[in-house]
Amino acid sequence: MDERIKVVVDDAIPFIEGVLEPYADVVYKGGRDICREDLLDAAALVIRTRTRCDAALLDGTAVKFIATATIGTDHIDHDYCDKRGIVVRNAAGCNAGGVMNYVFSALYGVASRRSIRLDGSKLGIVGVGNVGSRVDRVAGNLGFKVLKNDPPRMAAEGPEGFCPLEYLLHNSQIVTMHVPLDETTFRMCDDAFFDNMRPGAIFINASRGEVVDDSALKRAVPKLGPVIIDTWNNEPDIDLELMNMVDIATPHIAGYSYQGKQNGTAASVRALARFFGFDKLYEFFPKTEIESLEAVKLDLKGKKQGEITSALQYNYPIFTDDFMFRMDPAGFERLRSHYQYRREFYID
């Protein structure tokens, strides 16, 4: 493509500054600050979840391509974009490793603090897409008995390997949420959901805040075991009462690994490059310039729970994130935008 285009980019997306400039006029702005006037002559938009892409933002603009450096796309009005012919691309699976790391660091961390034995526990995964599948694989390697609920996959693949949600909730000592946000999952974690969970069961939400009814969760906390929340309703103005009731509270950073951010930016740049014909960027991937952030493999086979806990906390000391958030919950967005990306670990 010979004609230069204008691209508006969320300035919190890492590794992207300077990449598109040889091919486009690039404007960087905070995701919440991007407005219609910025897009009147812009052909493309590269965002995260903080930019709501709908008629109010896009009507009358030149935008024909949107890339979101996230797995979720519920911040984009797909019906509107389809009608306008705006192509939308996401970064499916980009943060799966980081979220998997979060789940197991948090799980073993709270189990250690609350003196909970995890041996032989049933771990229920609600939503078995890219993230849920990673959690499934690692849980099996660590000796958990895994129950899985995913209605779309069960409809497409058959019932083998999946179970109804009610059965999963009745039989799992740990329930971890990895569903996308849509009309079928909005507020799915309601009073009936928590009533079906076992007393003392651990609850983890690192999917979307809106899948949980906050009031129902607060009513359920006395019955449940440890509760771990990374994603919240009304971010960044979250329910502080709920935050003070849970065992681990973090500001939507479960997927904030160094590798996850590389993957997300690479997916967005590659998609934009292919759409506009920037052939030199078709295989773009940010370089890892910090050796200490290279992903590391953990061999946890045959290890006792205490040894596993120590290894996980060494590689991701999750209670530091919890502490920093509790010290400054009003700094939700600042903590996210200035987060020190952690390296991922792999577990065989």
Q: Catalytic positions, please?
A: 208, 235, 252
**Structure-token pair, residue 185:** 């999952």
- Asked if residues 102 and 124 have their Cβ atoms less than 8 Å apart, the reply is no
Which residues fall within 8 angstroms of residue 267, CB to CB, at 6 or more apart?
67, 69, 89, 90, 91, 92, 94
* DSSP codes of every residue in 298-345: E--TT--HHHHHHHHHHH--HHHHHHHHHH-GGGHHHHHHT--PBPPE
Q: Whats the size of the chain, residue-wise?
A: 348
Q: For residue 199, with 0-12 CB atoms within 10 Å meaning exposed, 13-18 middle and 19 or more buried, which class applies?
A: exposed
Instruction: Tell me how far the alpha carbon of residue 46 is from its chain's centroid.
Output: 18
**Cα–Cα distance, 127 to 136 (Å, whole number):** 10
Tokens 């009936």: give the residue.
192
- Asked if residues 173 and 121 have their Cβ atoms less than 8 Å apart, the reply is yes
Phi and psi, residue 123, nearest 5°: -110, 120
Taking residue 233's Cβ as centre, other Cβ atoms within 10 Å add up to: 17
